[in-house]
Amino acid sequence: MTTTTASTLRLADTAEAADLAAFLGRLIRYDRAAAVRLQMGGGALAVFGRPPAFEVLAIRTARLGPGTGERDITVSAGELLETVDESAGAFALPAAVTGPPWTGVLPPRGGWQPVPGLPSPAGLRQAVAAAVAEFRTRDEALPAAHRDRAERDRIGREIWSRPVGDTGLPLRAVHAAQSVGFLRPMPENAPVALLRAGAWMRLRTPYGSIALRADGAATVGGLSVTPA
């Protein structure tokens, strides 16, 4: 991938660029027309995406090089990926696009409090694997006359809406975290946490966060989040 010389923005190092590219690539795998909202300020970049089906926001943060001002823009994930230069640790901003409704509904800036009871990263991955296995078993057991999209969706909703322990976090949020690479193997004492602020929950890992409305309500308004 190459970047243009105009409006080139520098990341703190090449590893940040590689992680950004990997995240964008995963979003595009689910939706080739995906949009992302970028917020820059205080030497940090936050990239917000919404992988389809999971009903969550995926948030990847990165450190920016010196001299980057504040910006807030929604762009095509695919066009942004094409500008990422991993060897130079840089990217360029594509033209802004009119984002889907979720781009105007981001988690709150502060007020996050820890929620106890979250399993270890290995335990979370095991929970996802068990749920996938259960779905396959139940799908294979369906009579041919009932093996249609509606029935499969019903089974999926039942499984992925289950809470993780007593945390209130739906299993689909953990599945989303694994699907976008946020639960890949990490150091044993890596800071993985579940946080809550008002109606929002946030599963935070060293590789990114998954945020969602804990009350299941439609998200409205124009809140923002500080990269962390």
pLDDT of amino acid 58:
98
Q: Do 12 and 100 have their domain in common?
A: yes
One domain for residues 99 and 162 = no
Sequence-separated (6 or more) residues with CB below 8 Å from residue 106: 37, 48, 57, 222, 223, 224, 225
Please name which of 31, 20, 26 lies closest in space to residue 80, comparing C-alpha atoms: 20
Task: Name the domain boundary from 36, 71, 104.
Answer: 104
Point out the domain boundary residue: 57, 78, 104.
104
Mean pLDDT, rounded, for 185-196: 88
- pLDDT tens string 25-45: 999 999 999 999 999 999 999
**Amino acid residing at 4:** T
Per the structure, the complete domain to which residue 83 belongs is given by 8-104
39 lies in the same domain as 121: no
- Contact predicate 226/42, CB 8 Å: yes
CA–CA separation, 177 and 77 (whole Å):
18
Q: Identify whether residues 89 and 32 lie together within a single domain.
A: yes
Residue-wise pLDDT tens digits, 63-102? 998 888 899 999 999 999 999 999 999 999 999 999 899 9
pTM of the shown model: 0.89
Which residues are CB-contacts of 22 (< 8 A; sequence separation ≥ 6)?
181
Let me know whether 97 and 136 are in one domain. no
pLDDT band per the 50, 70, 90 thresholds, residue 217 = low
